[in-house]
Structure 1
Amino acid sequence: MRKTLLRALALATSGLAACVMAACGTGTPAANSSGTQQEGVLRIGTLTDAPPAIYQQDGEFTGYDNELLKVIAAKEGLKTEFVGTEFSSLLSQVNNGQFDVGSSSISSTAARKKTVDFSNGYSTGFTSIITRTGAGSAEVGGYAGKRLGVVQASIQDDFASSKVPGAEVVRFPGYNEGFAALRNGGVDGWVVPKEIGQKYIDQNPDIALEHAFTVETKDTPSAYAVRKGNTALLDKLNHGLAEAIKDGTLEQLYTRFYPNQPLPDELKKGGAGLPVTNS
């Protein structure tokens, strides 16, 4: 009996040790000294269909946001691993530790700061309502009773829901689905970041489309999302971003992906940057 009890105790003890070593349990994965789940590797949630900011080409994740993040990671001695996801679930996936970073032109709004922390900003932009040529309105009030397509949980979803009186908001999981609805007449307008909308217009010259309404969104710059309280990783992202601004790498990438869109002075070579304060 004594031998049996000792054997059972040894098995239980070894099982507990294995569980500890493997980080068993359902809680949020603990970050290591680099602020990541896996030492030296950033696991990044991003999108596949929002050029020129974030997209997939020839099986590789690219776009301004992701190329800049690769530069930041390299400056901090980190590697990158990109995984495609839907925007509507991205912030919760960052918060629960599934991803170390969210990269998706995420506007750093006060509401989102309740779920995640943000790096300093790396771009500002404009929100557009794209319609068939001549079918839209230059006034936001002209969309009452119109069906407006948005990517679910995006800043454009917030805009269409709260600042376009009388509009019927139709939510989609991604940009491709929203554009398809605009193309086939399922929606009257498509609310998107201006540069992303322009890319779709350029790639589909067979459809007569225009930016019927545009508004600047500079007060909530795009930033990378990290799990709340992950200051180790946040500090690395902000340091690498500051270096990319200082040496002009950010400006070079921006000019490459947005040749016709002005870059804020704060992000030009040697600029002061766009600080983001987390609540």
Structure 2
Amino acid sequence: MRRILSTVIGTAIVAITAAGLTACGSSDTSGQTLRVGTLTDAPPSIYLDNGRFTGYDNELLRDIAQREGFQVDFVSTEFSTLLGKVAGGQLDIGSSTISATSARKKTVNFSNGYDTSYTTVVSKKGAALPGANSFGGKRLGVVQGSVQDEFAGKLAGAEVVRFPDYNAGFAQLRSGGLDGWVVPKDIGQKYFDQNPSVPLEFGYTVLDKDTPSAFAVAKSNTDLLNKINDGLAKAIADGTAAKLHAQFYRAAPIAKELDKGGAGLPVKNS
């Protein structure tokens, strides 16, 4: 009797546990609630507003989820751990203006691109950091593990200082602890707008069109990848992506490939 009772209890526990889990690691996402890793402090792309995760990336993902029949539950995650958690199944999706680089494709798969951006060096006015050869002996702040971290590491003579998020880096720039702060230009512009009393300027800037921002998923989750790509294609085709881009990036035009009816930005995973 004890053995039978133990078997029954064990079976019930497994059933209850399975019912309470999200779809992390699952290949069938229909009707599931998926855990999405994102940042809280990178407006207008990804940020927290009155307790709600929002921004262009996250609102676009909400639209894709609605089209494709799944729900999303956003989780604040440090960027340096984000892709590892997606690859390991702790998170289903990464949504944090993640540039789809070759190195990152070794860890996760990426959806097709949903945005292009510029990487720029923000500094105090008069710092004179206009070109790739301006950084000898300069302290440059970056978000650890970001594409800007890689970018800064290639600037000759620069001392790269890594932070867990954008706010921490900006605080050091503002206090004089950094000579420059390497960020996507749209995020830098938002900090300009929110801190008018701080004398800031843009310096060295490059376009990142070859590595567009994309959503990250585990390599094993091809069903989810296909659904995200399908929903994204529909959002581009009917102009939803362009509408959301205009809502969050009021001064920046969307890439023609992502405008209504555009061809999209295909990403080839390794």
Same fold (TM over 0.5): yes
2:29 matched residue in structure 1: 34
Q: Does 1:231 align with 2:226?
A: no
Amino acid across the alignment from 1:252:
K
2:137 to 142, 145, 157: 145
1:61 to 24, 39, 53: 53
Deviation of residue 85 (structure 1)? 1.2
SS of the residue 2:133 aligns to: helix
1:187 matched residue in structure 2: 178
Amino acid across the alignment from 2:76:
G
SS of the residue 1:171 aligns to: strand
SS of the residue 1:143 aligns to: coil
Deviation of residue 12 (structure 1)? 5.0
Amino acid across the alignment from 1:56:
L
Structure 2, unpaired ranges of 5+: none
2:72 matched residue in structure 1: 80
Greater Cα shift, 178-187 or 259-268: 259-268
Q: Tell whether the 8 Å contact from 1:136 to 1:189 is kept in structure 2 after alignment.
A: no
How many residues were matched structurally?
Answer: 266
2:161 to 170, 177, 200: 170
- Identity fraction in percent: 58
Name the larger-Rg structure: 1
Q: Does 1:107 align with 2:99?
A: yes
Q: Tell whether the 8 Å contact from 2:25 to 2:92 is kept in structure 1 after alignment.
A: no
2:11 matched residue in structure 1: 17
2:245 matched residue in structure 1: 254
1:50 matched residue in structure 2: 42
Q: Tell whether the 8 Å contact from 2:25 to 2:221 is kept in structure 1 after alignment.
A: no
Q: Tell whether the 8 Å contact from 1:44 to 1:102 is kept in structure 2 after alignment.
A: yes
2:195 matched residue in structure 1: 204
Change (3 A) 1:171 1:265: same
Amino acid across the alignment from 1:202:
D
Amino acid across the alignment from 1:98:
Q
Separation in 2, partners of 1:114, 1:11? 47
Deviation of residue 20 (structure 1)? 4.7
Amino acid across the alignment from 2:211:
T
Amino acid across the alignment from 2:233:
A
Structure 1, unpaired ranges of 5+: 1-6
What's the TM-score, normalizing by structure 1?
Answer: 0.91
Q: Which runs of 4+ in 1 moved over 4 A?
A: none
What's the TM-score, normalizing by structure 2?
Answer: 0.94
SS of the residue 2:86 aligns to: helix
Amino acid across the alignment from 2:49:
Q
